[in-house]
Amino acid sequence: MTEKKIIGSVIDCPLCIDLDGTLLRSDLLYESLLLLFTKNPLYLFLLPFWLLKGKAAFKREIATRVEVTANTLPYDMRILELLRTTSQRPRVLCTASDALLVQPIADHLGLFESVMASDGCSNLAGRHKAEKLVERFGERGFDYVGNSDVDLQVWKHAATGLVVGSDALAEKAGLLTQVRAHWPTTARGGLYRLRTWVKAMRIYQWAKNLLVFVPLLAAHRVLEPEALVQATVAFLAFGLCASGVYLLNDLLDLSSDRQHSRKCKRPFAAGDLPVLQGLFAAVVLTVVSFILAAWCGWKFALVLLGYWLLTVSYSLHLKRLVMIDVILLAALYTVRIIAGAAAIGAPLSFWLLSFSMFIFLSLALLKRYTELHAAQAAGKGGASGRGYDTMDLPLIESLGAAAGYIGVLVLALYINSPESLTLYHQPKLLWLLCPMLLYWVSHMWMVAHRGGMHDDPIVFAASDKASLVVICLCAIAVVLAT
């Protein structure tokens, strides 16, 4: 539906604007809850006791413990334009969010003459908001901008209404007051929303879960139907679990993502998807992944649980700890290989685990190096939400390249081991892998050093011609050796 033009209004009639879902393309309560959980997960156990005090007290308890970065919040540009073009009349920010969080937003925007918000005693929503507005401005003495069914109780007393939401909501509001403007929540249809969810779930990152198939290939069991099915189900389970964690990570990382040049466009950071729906989707994806994991056996399910616990710990706190974060990232890649072995009942290879740990440590350091390099180019002292400083760039570069070369050394030692002689008819052909991988590690770090690396090296490698050529040549060498 096209936006309705704003028709005439009384100049001295106050313009009262809701915050959550109206001026803000998000919900301050859910965002503050996520900030609280990020600050200390143990607060989760206090929430029920705070809620017993009432909604207003509940919001105040949270607001006293968190700070919202007002300048990075996803504002609706249409409402900001409305505020800027109505400076000749009183403008009031009227919201059920707590005043401690709302006032900094009003101060940052500088577009409101006054603020009405929940104060720890009164929850300014629905009927209570309507009563306060009528008490202050009189019956039909104000215009109101809102976005949900609860706002119908306010529109019933407003001179005119401005609606941010669906056609159905605008029609309901029109039965109570004159609707002089209607902005649809989004101008895009269901296909766009589906693509947005796919983007949020980062389906493209499922390529990393192909590591689950590595034990199947290494054990030369790819032609066994049962093992192939087990590995495929394990791949799906890991993909769904990873997507659930990606959603949770994005929700917990909203503040730092909004300060990043690229991550600020992620669906939740940009306000394209509701925070509450993201939390629900994260839970559903995780539950389904563990149902699939149970089908693969308890050993695989246990490994997947360990992966989930590690990733959640990483999202909550460990990603802020220098060096621990990159070691954990490398371990998460290696866990995928361990999971693949558990799914098909194959023994773990010391050589495979050693190689993967070093090569993935190199990629994890490459990821941090790229983030810091981008921060330095933007004139910042470090990457937001991380414990590194731009002065660490030379050290990270040397450590990352060294880790990659050690990974190739482990491969060289494996080629000359008894295990290699047992599995391969022509193990000497595997020596071709070493120079190719040495080139690839050097190539990746050279690209990063010159500022051309994507902040996710795996994503870069999947579209980089040199990387794809190396992968194909390595695959040919392995097949010939077999």
pLDDT at 13: 87
- pLDDT of 22 strictly over 60: yes
pLDDT at 375: 81
Residues 447 and 368: beta-carbon distance below 8 Å: no
- pLDDT of 138 strictly over 70: yes
Bridge partner list, 93: 17, 115
Residues 31 and 67: beta-carbon distance below 8 Å: no
Q: Residue range 223-239: average pLDDT? A: 91
Q: Rounded CA gap, 270 and 75, in Å? A: 9
pLDDT at 289: 95
Please state which of the ranges 8-17, 205-214, 404-413 shows the lowest mean pLDDT: 8-17
pLDDT at 58: 96
Q: Where are any strands of DSSP class E within 99-205? A: 114-118, 143-146, 160-164, 178-183
Question: Residue 187: pLDDT band by 50, 70, 90 thresholds?
Answer: very low
441, 421, 445, 423: which is closest to 433 by C-alpha? 441
- pLDDT of 65 strictly over 70: yes
Over residues 169-178, the pLDDT tens digits come to 999 999 999 9
For residue 54, the 8-state DSSP code is -
- pLDDT of 303 strictly over 80: yes
Read off φ and ψ for residue 91, nearest 5 degrees.
-120, 125
Handedness of CA 149, 150, 153, 155 (dihedral sign): negative
In sequence order, what DSSP letters do the residues of 343-384 get, joined into one string?
HHTPPPPHHHHHHHHHHHHHHHHHHHHHHHHHHHHTT-SS-T
Question: Residue 11: pLDDT band by 50, 70, 90 thresholds?
Answer: low
pLDDT at 3: 45
- pLDDT of 217 strictly over 70: yes
CA distances to 139, 236, 297 from 304, in Å: 59, 12, 11
Residue type, 144: Y
For residue 248 the two structure tokens come to: 């949770």
| Cβ atoms < 10 Å from Cβ of 250 | 23
pLDDT at 7: 43
Please state which of the ranges 109-113, 132-136, 194-198 shows the lowest mean pLDDT: 194-198
pLDDT at 193: 77
293, 366, 372: which is closest to 333 by C-alpha? 366
pLDDT at 186: 58
- pLDDT of 358 strictly over 60: yes
313, 456, 323, 449: which is closest to 388 by C-alpha? 323
Residue type, 297: G
Query: Which residues lie closer than 8 Å to 342 by C-beta, 6 or more apart?
Result: 296, 297, 299, 300, 302, 303
108, 127, 104, 156: which is closest to 55 by C-alpha? 127
DSSP alpha helix (H) spans, 27-166: 28-39, 47-51, 55-63, 77-84, 99-109, 127-137, 152-155
For residue 16 the two structure tokens come to: 């009262």
Question: Residue holding tokens 């050529």?
Answer: 469
Residues 158 and 141: beta-carbon distance below 8 Å: no
For residue 177 the two structure tokens come to: 């007051």
Q: Rounded CA gap, 184 and 192, in Å? A: 15
- pLDDT of 383 strictly over 80: no
77, 81, 75, 94: which is closest to 143 by C-alpha? 94
pLDDT at 46: 93
Question: Residue 395: pLDDT band by 50, 70, 90 thresholds?
Answer: very high
Q: Rounded CA gap, 303 and 294, in Å? A: 11
Percent of the chain whose predicted confidence (pLDDT) is above 70: 95
Q: Rounded CA gap, 33 and 75, in Å? A: 19
For residue 11 the two structure tokens come to: 């100049």
395, 407, 342: which is closest to 365 by C-alpha? 395
Q: Taking all residues of the chain, what is their mean pLDDT, rounded to a whole number? A: 88
Read off φ and ψ for residue 52, nearest 5 degrees.
-65, -20
Q: Residue range 115-129: average pLDDT? A: 93
